[in-house]
Amino acid sequence: MNILRKLIPVLLLCGTYQAQANTITVVTKGAGQFGASFLSASHDSFKADPSLVYIKGKKFSEGAKRNVYPDADLTGEDKELFSTYSPRLNAPERSELYYYGDKPLTKRVGEIDEISKTFAYLDAQSGVLNEHGVMIATSRAYVRNFKKVSYKNGGILNVSELSRIALERCENATDSIKTIGSLIEEYGVYGVPYIICVADKDTAYTMEILPLEDDKKGLWIAKRISDGSVYVSADSFRIDDIDESDESLIMQPGLIQKLNDRKIAKTNSNKKLSWIHSIRACEKRPYYSLRRIWRASCILNANCKLSAWSESYLKNNYPFEIIPDRKVSAEFLMQLHRDTFKGTEFDPSATPSGGFFASPYSYNLENERAISTTSTAYTYINEVSSDLPVPICHFALNTPAESVFIPLTVSELPDAYSKVDRNRYDETKLYWATNMVSTLTKGYYYTMIDTVKVKALELEQKSKATISQYSKLSAKDFTSLLNANAIASITGINSLYQLLLEHHDNGYKLRYAQGHNPKFIPVERYNKEENLRKAKQND
């Protein structure tokens, strides 16, 4: 009851919509190693469908329509529309991998005009990466006193579908943002406050969208991320100044007038019209977002000297973007997404909730929300570079610290990735192999994590060597080699659970972590006279 009493005011303040969360980083080419651009994202939800699906490019005749579907992970399950958490979509016209013959087909929310030709892309709970190297990720955000907007209010597009349409239709990030904006203006948007980050090899943006109950177009704004910088999104709106002369902004037509008409326009401490102040942006709870932004910024640049503490969400000293103190690589981002505040005062393993085996995870709802969390369904790191024949998606299932990032391309994927049922164990699916390793390791973290890390490093280094060695091949041959590497990596992960059992059979070699031992109570020595006295008393 005490936890509920403390949480209720926060939930009422920032809205009571479903608690699903993501952490996103956008690395521009000037900040990326060897001029590569990256976009990484975790999808943190115990209910999300972790399937990764390849969607083929298609051609359509004039007058064709595209169905628009609901998303249970955004707005909850809908029995009328047959919208469920797992599978997230049952619509065979989208892909044969989105067909479940034993379940009712998902009903559409509406339809939009189709174009003559679409591009191939990878799809998860939202779009991931397309064949032209457009990288995308979505993240929830919070606004004070927000009420979830239904599609019945007029808007038919949710953020997941917007991200997919952008990948189907666009060859660069700028066109993606403009396409999403024009779709919202024409067809409307529903759901909850959301962020869409989009990047290509040259340009990157973050877009912030606020659905409205009384206006299907909602409110939206996008900002370009400066080349040479890294942007971090942690379930929070971050765009501040609204200035029509700012060329880095792409704004909804009439946005400033809309804010004024609603009498919500507010300025910030610099006396400038502010997006986040006007819409009353907030966090799910104090430091839920800010702590992750602080931690990622400090990892990216150890000299940034940012404080872990702030006066409030809107009064913090965290810059919109940060210049890293080294060039960022895919391996660097893998470690960032595995971070649990280790070495800081917020490290859960140093608290009683860490347990005897020094677990870095907290199961207390009021504790710090780290970048890596037990609820992570999957994490991906998209990489686009002129040195690569095709874009790459480094994909890890479950909590990344106990998993392996495997490089994939926008092509047919191994069956182990698709049609995953989170409610039913299936030994043929990679999700369940990583789930077994992660679940076992979490229980005996200190003892088992080194074995897991060594195996992950071995497989990831092998993948890195494969990419480096064959990056000059044709796109077709490079893709074939990465697919072969993915299958080999899956085999390696499948063997890891057995390896852990072999090393720790029935508790063999299990050891408490230093500082996490239970209190030592010495065994009493034998005392002949005392034992005889007690024995006579018992008689």
In the predicted model, what is the mean pLDDT of the chain? 92
User: What is the spatial distance between Cα 75 and Cα 28, in angstroms, rounded to a whole number?
Assistant: 32
Judge whether residue 253 has pLDDT over 70.
yes
pTM of the model: 0.93
**How sure is the predictor about 365, in pLDDT bands with cuts at 50, 70 and 90?**
low
Judge whether residue 8 has pLDDT over 60.
no
List of residues 6+ apart from 22 with CB closer than 8 A? 41, 42, 43, 44, 137, 138, 139, 140, 233, 235
Q: How confident is the model over 485-506, as a mean pLDDT?
A: 94
Q: Provide the pLDDT for residue 515.
A: 79
User: What is the spatial distance between Cα 161 and Cα 167, in angstroms, rounded to a whole number?
Assistant: 10
The number of beta carbons lying within 10 Å of the beta carbon of residue 343 is: 9
Judge whether residue 211 has pLDDT over 60.
yes
In this predicted structure, which of 12-26, 128-142, 225-239, 262-276 has the lowest mean pLDDT? 12-26
Closest of 15, 18, 83 to residue 49, by C-alpha: 83
Place of tokens 């990735």: 417
Judge whether residue 328 has pLDDT over 80.
yes
Tokens representing 69?
């579907």
Judge whether residue 17 has pLDDT over 80.
no
Tokens representing 346?
């917020």
Judge whether residue 11 has pLDDT over 60.
no
Structural domain boundaries of the chain? Answer: 2-342+370-432
Place of tokens 């998860």: 124
**How sure is the predictor about 280, in pLDDT bands with cuts at 50, 70 and 90?**
very high
188 close to 194: Cβ distance less than 8 angstroms: no
Parallel, antiparallel, or unpaired: how do β-strands 249-251 and 219-224 relate?
antiparallel
Model confidence pLDDT, tens digit, residues 125-136: 999 999 999 999
**How sure is the predictor about 20, in pLDDT bands with cuts at 50, 70 and 90?**
low
Q: Which residue has the higher pLDDT, 167 or 13?
A: 167
Q: Provide the pLDDT for residue 160.
A: 97
DSSP state of 83: B
Q: Provide the pLDDT for residue 10.
A: 36
Q: Provide the pLDDT for residue 527.
A: 74
Q: How confident is the model over 224-232, as a mean pLDDT?
A: 98
Chain-centroid distance of CA 164 in Å reads 16
Q: Provide the pLDDT for residue 4.
A: 32
Length reported for the chain: 539
Model confidence pLDDT, tens digit, residues 505-524: 888 888 888 878 777 777 77
- Measure the CA dihedral 121/124/126/131, to 10°: -10
Q: How confident is the model over 78-91, as a mean pLDDT?
A: 96
The DSSP element (H or E) to which 378 belongs, if any, is strand 376-384
User: What is the spatial distance between Cα 227 and Cα 453, in angstroms, rounded to a whole number?
Assistant: 33
67 close to 91: Cβ distance less than 8 angstroms: yes
Model confidence pLDDT, tens digit, residues 386-410: 999 999 999 999 999 999 999 999 9
Model confidence pLDDT, tens digit, residues 122-165: 999 999 999 999 999 999 999 999 999 999 999 999 999 999 99
- First and final CA of the chain: distance in angstroms? 49
174 close to 210: Cβ distance less than 8 angstroms: no
**How sure is the predictor about 539, in pLDDT bands with cuts at 50, 70 and 90?**
low
Q: How confident is the model over 419-442, as a mean pLDDT?
A: 95
Q: At what angle do helices 475-503 and 445-470 cross, to 10 degrees?
A: 160
189 close to 218: Cβ distance less than 8 angstroms: yes
